[in-house]
Chains A and B, each alone.
Chain A
Amino acid sequence: MELLVSGMVVLGMPLLFAALGGLIAERGGVLNLGLEGLLLATAFTSALVAGQGRSVWAGLVVAIAVGGALGLLLGWLTVVVRADQVVTGIAFSLAALGLTGFAYGIRGSEAFQVAATGDVRVPVLADIPWLGPLFDQHWLAYVGYALVPVIWYLLMRTGVGLRLRAAGEYAEGARASGVHVVRVRLMALAASGAVCALGGAFMVLADSHEFVIDMSNGRGYIAFAIIILGRWTPLGVLLGAAAFAFAQGLDLYAQARSLSFPLELIQALPYVVALVAAALLGRRVRPPAEEGKPLLLSE
């Protein structure tokens, strides 16, 4: 059980960060399909900067900066240039896969080996039976736990969050009441990229300690299912990420105990649940109204 919980955290954190990043963009009215590319690009960056025994801190900081900048680039393309959000996100992800793979080939795998440091064991809490492993993790995992209430608070209880949600639900109305919709959405995309960067950095700095081609392996796309399953709320996203991480963690668990049961079916379960839930709830699970539309405001 401890093994399973620990595996869930390691597997779930990239999903959580990516889905939280996607959530911020979607609440602002932009469908960020570039999450997969953001995860890859920031994992690549963190490994490149922190590689060969250089500072892990520098790796993290540069990854966040690059994530924010790439988020801003996606924002510029979708919000200012009004390029199609779906097209831009998918093409961006494919380009990131190609570019990171290409640069990895040029530099060679030794350049991307990172020192394994940063595990923090919280006294007392880590000794709780069953749930203890939640508190015996890389410190980035604690950032992940903390981000859930922080993002909830920012979205639901601050002026910035209100303006963001207004831009996502009714851009024309938001503009009429003085919200600079373009600026708000650009900020949302930058934040989206920066939060997603934590997921990319987590994969490298906390989990595998190296960069590997296509290491995100579709997690940026799984994040979209998580956002729906979580009904566009941070807490829901946390539970959704946990559900997917549980299904994937069973794999590790079964291997360690050499159990055999149909893992593929269990791994498919969260997707089936998300689809069925969406089908049953129908129009009551409603995404932000402006999501996916180009920004066309009257002057």
Chain B
Amino acid sequence: MSAAGRVGRLGPRLTPLIPGWAWPILGVLSSLVILAPLVAWAGGDVVESYEVLFETSFGSVFGFGVLLTYSVPLALVGLAVAVPYRAGLFNIGGEGQLIVGAFAAAVVGVEISGLVDWPGGFLVLLVVGASAGAALGAIAGALRAWRGINEIVTTIMLNFIALLLVQYFIAGSFRDPALTFAASREIPTGARIAKVGSLDAVPLSILVAVIVGLAVAYWAHQTRGGWRISLLGAAPAFAREKGVRPARGLFLVLLAGGALGGLAGATELVGNQHRVGFGFSPGWGLDAVAIALLARGNVYAVVPIAVFFAFLRNGTGALQSTVGVSGTLVGVMTALPVLIVAALLGWRDYRRFRQGRG
């Protein structure tokens, strides 16, 4: 596919008919509606399941802390997909960027503990994680920008490479010998971001997600650089006229996406798990694609939608024990709204194209 052709037809439009903020709300509502028939199918109590869904996250400080804990990696890796999407690119590589970021941060935290032994030591690990993720994103970016290779395919392949490499290291030379399972050593206490509140449930790392989320959204929507990137996605020919260099833009935007993915992994490491094991990410990278797609290029919407996804994960996890309905329905609740919104938007754009021809 040619660079100009694909980029020009995907991504955010500059003049939406339905305001951009309405689409995520539509997605969230349809997701909540889907729960009812699924629970009824499984023979569960529909009303009770909605109660459980909300109780789990908002019924106690502990539940709210779990909600926020789930939200942090989802929000950051959601941004990792949303930023390249502004330029019409799909970063499916969140999973790999996340694990590489976490692992690189873990290695530095464990091996060079002197570097992180000060109050802001976690910042070093966040920078290390973001850099590792950026390196991965840069590979996909360079191949896309200067060799014209589809970034979807390269990021998927890089996911597998990254996961296998990290597995190799944590099963081998970086394995914690004190454990019965394969995982890295824990990073030192001084390099962690604390959790507070009852049972130490509320993660302060949520601040990282919120601050980064606001900063990235501000950059994307309010600055000249962000405007040029979205121009690249919406109208590449016009962007070139305005002095945007397409190849460089595509490269940088995938690099930035990779950095955000790596940051997601490092933040999860310092704020929650403290070590990297085989099951470090339960598939956040793909959830992130759904999150970014529901946000439809509105970067301000990414963090709230990530919190909503965390709300679904948290609540549906509790359905098994209370209503007796499997928590796997969360996959349906997150994926079907994306399909519905994509279909509606595709059809709207097509009709507009037809009308444009008169």
Interface residues of A (CB under 8 A from B): 31, 33, 77-78, 81-84, 86-88, 90-95, 97-99, 101-102, 104-106, 213, 218, 221-222, 224-225, 228, 262, 264-265, 267-268, 271-272, 274-275, 278-279, 282-283, 285, 287, 289-294, 296, 298-299
Contacts and interface: CB of A to CB of B under 8 A. Distances in A.
B225 interface: no
27 contacts: A83-B345, A87-B338, A90-B286, A90-B289, A92-B335, A94-B286, A94-B290, A97-B335, A98-B334, A105-B326, A221-B159, A222-B160, A224-B152, A228-B153, A264-B164, A268-B165, A275-B157, A278-B147, A278-B154, A279-B143, A282-B147, A282-B149, A285-B149, A294-B346, A294-B350, A296-B353, A298-B357
A262 B330 contact: no
A267 to B, nearest CB: 5
Interface in B173-213: none
Nearest to B90: A86
Given A102-B329, A221-B156, A225-B157, 10 more contacts: A88-B342, A98-B332, A105-B328, A228-B153, A271-B161, A278-B154, A279-B143, A282-B147, A289-B1, A293-B5
B293 A95 contact: no
Given A106-B41, A275-B158, A294-B9, A83 B167 contact: no
B153 A224 contact: yes
Given A224-B156, A278-B154, A102 B1 contact: no
A296 B326 contact: no
Interface of B: 1-2, 5-6, 9-10, 38, 41-43, 90, 92, 139, 143, 147-150, 152-154, 156-161, 164-165, 167-168, 171-172, 286, 289-290, 293, 326, 328-336, 338-339, 342-343, 345-347, 349-350, 353-354, 357
A212 to B, nearest CB: 13
B336 A91 contact: yes
Contacts of A292: 1, 6, 150
Contacts of A293: 1, 5-6, 9
Contacts of B168: 262, 264-265, 268
Given A95-B336, A294-B9, A296-B350, A287 B330 contact: no
A275 B342 contact: no
Given A99-B332, A264-B164, A87 B342 contact: yes
Contacts of B333: 98
Contact of A225 (B156, B336, B347, B349): B156
A106 B342 contact: no
Given A87-B293, A95-B331, A98-B330, A264 B152 contact: no
B49 to A, nearest CB: 13
Contacts of B158: 271, 275
Contacts of B349: 82, 294
B332 A268 contact: no
Contacts of B9: 293-294, 296
Nearest to A78: B346
B20 to A, nearest CB: 16
B343 A218 contact: no
A81 to B, nearest CB: 5
A299 to B, nearest CB: 7
A178 B53 CA distance: 54
A249 to B, nearest CB: 15
B43 to A, nearest CB: 8
A15 to B, nearest CB: 13
Nearest to A272: B161
B351 to A, nearest CB: 9
A263 to B, nearest CB: 8
B332 A95 contact: yes
A101 B328 contact: yes
